Every structure is written in C-alpha cells, then in structure tokens.
Amino acid sequence: MTGTAGPVLYQMLFHAVLRHTDAERVHGLSAAALRGATAVPGVASVMSRLLGAREPELRVRALGREFAGPLGMAAGFDKNARLVDGLAALGFGHVEIGTVTGRPQPGNPRPRLFRLTADRAIVNRMGFNNEGSAVVAERLRARGRRRRSGPPVVVGANIGKTKAVPEEQAVEDYVASARRLADVADYVAVNVSSPNTPGLRDLQAVHHLRPLLTAVRAALDEAGRPDLPLLVKIAPDLADTDVDAVADLALELGLHGIIATNTTIAREGLVTPPEEVAAAGAGGLSGAPLKARALEVLTRLRARVGDRLVLVAVGGIETPEDAWERIRAGATLVQGYTGLVYGGPLWPRRMHRGIARLARAAGYASVTDAVGSAVAEDRAAS
C-alpha cells in the first residue's frame, strides 16, 4: 500500500465519499481512527518503521533539535495534542499542536470547515477551538510520562489569543499559555496571523508585536527555559514592507525563526464556482492557491535574514517538488495540512521519499546542505 495502490484507493474514497461529507466530521472520524490505531501497543512503532522518514538525506538539525525529516504537520490539525504519536507514526518529522489559547473556547459556530475541491483548497473559520493551554500542557506532560517507545517527533506549541480576552490583555493571555507549555514543548510559535479571531492580525504590526514577543520570551526564560526556541507565524496578506519589518524585529529580539505563512483571506484566481466560494463564507484559505504568495514571502524573508533565522515554509505544499522548491528558497523545515487532506495518510511518506530523491539527484548529502547552499547562493548574488 506504500506504492501506487494506496494513493489511488484514497482518491477513490475521497471522491466517492469524503468530499460529500461534512469536512469537520471527516476530520473528527479520521482523528479518532488514528488515535485508536496507535493506542494499540506496538502499532505506532510498526507504522513508523513502514512510513517514517528513514533516508539519511532527510535528517535536519534545527532549533537545537534533531528532525527525522523536514516535513511537519502544521498547526490547526491537532489542536489539543491528542494526535502527536499518530501523526509521528504517519511519518511527520514534527507536529505543531494548537493553536492553543489561554482559556478553553468552543470556536466559531458550525459549519466552519469547507473544501474547495476544484482548487485543492480548504476554507476554515474554526476560531481557535481548543481545550485551553492548561489542559493541553497536562496532556503533553502525561504523554511524556508514559512514553517509552515509538517514533521520535519534535513537538511545537502554537499559541494564540482567547477571543473573549480584550485586546489590551492579549499579552497576558499569550504569556499564560507560554508559561504552561514551556516545559513540554520543543519550541513555541506565537500565532498573530489567523483571520478568524477579531483583531488578532493587528498584533502583527511591529508596535504591537514587539511587547508581545518580548513578554513571551521573558515568560519562557522565567519558566526555566531560556533555550526554548521562539518563533512567530505571519500571514501571507502582509504587505512586503510589513514582512520586512517583522523580519527585522525577529532579528532584533533574537527570535529563533519565522513560520511563513498562515492562511489567506484572499479569494483571487480560484477555479471553484463563485457561488460555491461565497457559500463557504469568510475564513482562512489554505492549499494550492496559497502556493505562489507563500513562496514570495519565504523568499523575501530569506533575503532579509540570511541564515540568522530558521524559516519554516507552509502554504500550498502538495508535492515533493513543492517542498524542494521551498528548501531551495531557504526553508529549513516545511509543513503541510491541506496536502494531507487531499493526499491521504500515505502522503507524508510519499513526500519524504520524494524530497530524499530530489536531494540525491541534486548532489546534496542532506536537506541541511541544500538549505545552506541556497543561502550561500543568495548571499553571493547580493
């Protein structure tokens, strides 16, 4: 099933059944199946041996951690840290849980997750539905206590603002989550770029972002984790000058990296009929239509920061060639979400095999070498 049969069967299932079923319901059923399978002793290890990133070219050293492969699961898929081991067993080298908020919240009313199949895209207005950072932190802590074997995986914690918290108290809300998650995360990502929490994207403005990131960094330090990597996740809808400003701020504050990009509020260039797009309504668009702008933002960031920050590329990554293009543009790590929805459970393995093949064909011993080469080429060109 790791050859062509698996993808073909999944595509048949997707087009015959899944695309006609409420997207959030399918997500819930898929998550339950993954949790159930990996709860059986030994299953996660077997899955990892079959599907995990094993090629030596895929090893990445970044953020003070060892990643089995560059492809990770983007935030939004595993909001409550229930699927970490299952996603690792599918072959993801890292899992970014969340977005987690200081207080639990139900998110926006349903329906709030929609597929635009013709565009291989998703519209979501989930609204940071999650159980709150205290519950999620304890779940990760319990996972650490009971875990004895299974696939290795780097776990990032993506934190955001509780909707009910006034904007003037946003910093305190982020800080509460940072403190709770400091001892259970391999890195923390500050999400100021979701379009589904009113006012959140305003925090990307440097005069708001500086005190927020400074406070979160101080909270992690006070929690005894001065070495814990801190990243910020930005929107593709930022103007180029604002992308530059965030890059400069990240360097000024000594952040470890930037995640580029979140979903977009744009709807231009879609092939889905306008009435279907309108029916999906407001929310963040992810998937193939985001590819070009996400790459533009990544390229601009790399030109601005060189090798001083880790850049994590996300948005419209569907194929190994997409991932390789981001790596050659200077991304140390890549992430997917919509690619898994349309590609099926064997997608991470196909992606990593393809990335390894492309690295070998280009003469690189590792993904890390390819990133270093890209940065060096940019420096020489400038």
Residue with structure tokens 């140390």? 332
Q: Which two tokens stand for residue 363?
A: 């003469």
Whether residue 284 is annotated as binding a ligand: the answer is no
- How buried is 82 (Cβ within 10 angstroms: 0-12 exposed, 13-18 middle, 19+ buried)? middle
Task: Give yes or no for a cis peptide into 261 (omega within 30° of 0).
Answer: yes
Whether residue 163 is annotated as binding a ligand: the answer is no
Q: CB–CB of 31/82 below 8 Å?
A: yes
Whether residue 12 is annotated as binding a ligand: the answer is no
The active-site residue, picked from 133, 177, 193, 194, is 194
The residues facing 61 across adjacent strands are 66
Helix pair angle (367-381, 291-305), 10° resolution: 70
Task: Give yes or no for a cis peptide into 368 (omega within 30° of 0).
Answer: no
Residue 233 DSSP SS3: strand
Whether residue 28 is annotated as binding a ligand: the answer is no
Whether residue 128 is annotated as binding a ligand: the answer is yes
**What are the helix (H) ranges across 154-308?**
170-181, 206-222, 240-253, 274-280, 291-305
Whether residue 263 is annotated as binding a ligand: the answer is yes
Asked if 366 is an active-site residue, the reply is no
Whether residue 92 is annotated as binding a ligand: the answer is no
Whether residue 67 is annotated as binding a ligand: the answer is no
Whether residue 287 is annotated as binding a ligand: the answer is yes
Whether residue 283 is annotated as binding a ligand: the answer is no
Whether residue 42 is annotated as binding a ligand: the answer is no
- Binding annotation for substrate: 79, 124-128, 191, 196, 262-263
Question: Residues with catalytic annotation?
Answer: 194
- Binding annotation for FMN: 75-79, 99, 158, 191, 233, 261, 287, 316, 337-338
